[in-house]
Amino acid sequence: MAETMTNADNFWLCMDEPTNLMVITAFMEFKEKVDFKRLQATIDSRLASFPRFRKRIVKPKSGMGLPGWEFDPNYDLRSHVQRIALPSPGDKNDLQEMISNLTTTPLDPNKPLWQVHLIENYGKGCVVFFRIHHCIGDGIALIYVLLSAADTDPDAPWPKSRPKQKKSSLNLQSFLSFDSVKDTVKTTRKLGTKLIKEMEKALSDSDHLKKLVKKSGRLPTDFATVLSKHTIMKSDPNTPFKGKLGVRKLVVWTDPMELSKIKTVGKAITRTTLNDVLVATVTGAMRRYLKTRNVAVNELDLRVTIPVNIRKAGTEFELGNKFSLVFLPLPVYLKDPILRLKEVKRRMDRLKKSADPYINFGLVGAIGYLPPGLAKKAAQLFGNKASGVMTNVPGPRQPLYFAGSKIENIMFWVPRSGAIGLGISILSYDGKVTVGIASDEGLMPDPEVFLEGFEDEFNYLLELVQTGKIYDKPLVLHDRYTESQAAVKDKKDKKRSLSRKAKGSTVCKAKTKSGRPCKNKALSDSDYCKTHIEQVEEDTQLKDVAQLMKELIQ
């Protein structure tokens, strides 16, 4: 019998579109030729030992319910592992063009959704290029699976025949480490199963919508807060990073950078991580690129979505989608690179302390219960808030060997959704870091200019540190929007407090159901009495939920 697909996996299957295939791609680069037969044996014994790589997707005959996984009766390794070559002499530009072409080619839905190409004639060596659909697993799991197929011993023998895999007993709850998160997932599951009918009723029946608000009010406070925040969050403006997408995509990547140089920059600023340095450098590259396209940047904050691993330690090899997403606003408006780095660090630290990753996982779980059409609309509602997807994966520190050959470099890309055209991938391996860019050709036809900006930005940062210019001027951290909002609030609070002190106790400003002014005394810190404060809070939450549902339906 077919294994039922999880809602999270089905979500990514439904998100497939010609202009944005939900396929994770990666490559391994070699300075020598890889034996094709040994490559086939390695993939067959290690990659295909995971049952999901030998299963195809079957949809219910009734057309209702979730799809399932079943072993492909016609499974043939030769349909998934193929051999191609670059025109001679093959260089990096030729390789980038070929990978860009392969990236836009849909996978065959009648077979297990993955493919491997041995790309020969790349200089004196070759590249092994992987394409795996997101419904099979998320980026964290798939990178670990690919690395598990490699060897640490350069003289490792040929792989043995495919071992049998034990059925995993891992369930959704086992990798969630916080009780509040478990409660959120449990609640959103129940809410999600009823979401379709609730949405249909809510827009035509205001009384029913009020009942739904009371139900959603039982969610953890953090969940309601995050939901409201996402609903009212304005979408990023259209730029070369975001807009109407086409089918054609482009992929490029840097030459590997020495990890020690990045550490040098990080150590110059107290408690700054390698990730902070890389994200700040990406922010500077975004600023530089937009200026080449004559886009005003001095008032610009752009968000990126960042995948967050929420798996329990030791379960990284479990396939499926068990990750969350968070929004990170990047201070593109900041010109000074050191100030920008400090501001990125401040924002990253604040995000790390928030409940957003776990709440968002529960939210995606609820969306997973929707049919394909509504699931896409729901994903676009949140996905369109950002301008790019950024992911950073720490790889192995020592060299690895695949199919008997040393891996010189590794790179990967994750798919985007909605109107997002920019993908930024960062991977460390064997003491070096590689940055990859994926773009929509219609929006950003020259991603190599972005990479040049990244390298220039980092070299400038490194020069400031090495010459000691980083200490020339004291820099003041600030977030103009946050500070201005706080200043306005403080001013209003002080004015209100002074007014109350001058007038003494005031009467509640609300009206009763009959339309008459309320005669109750307002609380000392509010314009309303206790009864009407609760009503105002409920009305606010009602408005947020109604707005979310309208956007999902439209």
Q: Say whether 232-394+416-472 and 3-148 share the same fold.
A: yes
Q: What is the pLDDT averaged over residues 413-423? A: 86
Between the CA of residue 313 and those of 144, 176, 325, 335, 397, what are the distances in Å? 13, 10, 18, 39, 19
Q: What pLDDT shows up at residue 197?
A: 42
Using only the alpha carbons of the chain, give its radius of gyration.
26
- The yes-or-no verdict on residue 66 having pLDDT over 70 is yes
Cβ–Cβ < 8 Å for 32, 93: no
pLDDT digits (tens, 9 = 90+) for 104-141: 999 999 999 999 999 999 999 999 999 999 989 887 77
Task: Specify the CATH class of 3-148 in words.
Answer: alpha beta
Query: What are the structural domain ranges in the chain?
Result: 3-148, 232-394+416-472, 498-554
Q: What is the third-level CATH fold of 232-394+416-472?
A: Chloramphenicol Acetyltransferase (3.30.559)
Residue 190 confidence (pLDDT) above 60: no
Over range 244-262, report the average pLDDT: 93
Phi and psi at residue 131, to the nearest 5°: -135, 120
Instruction: Find the mean pLDDT for residues 176-188.
Output: 35
Residue 355's pLDDT is what? 64
pLDDT higher than 50, residue 14: yes
Per-residue pLDDT, averaged over 227-233, amounts to: 58
Pairing of strands 422-429, 3-4: unpaired
Report whether 121 contacts 88 (CB < 8 A).
yes
Asked whether residue 216 carries a pLDDT value surpassing 70, the answer given is: no
Task: Give the pLDDT band of residue 402 (cuts 50, 70, 90).
Answer: very high
Alpha helices in 467-524 (DSSP H): 480-503
pLDDT at 521 over 70: yes
What average pLDDT does the structure give for the chain? 77
Most confident of 338-352, 442-456, 487-501: 442-456
Residue from 165, 302, 298 nearest 233 by CA? 302
What percent of the chain is predicted at pLDDT more than 70? 68
The whole model's pTM is what? 0.73
CA distance linking residue 132 with residue 144, whole number of Å: 13
- Most confident option among 158-162, 316-320, 481-485: 158-162
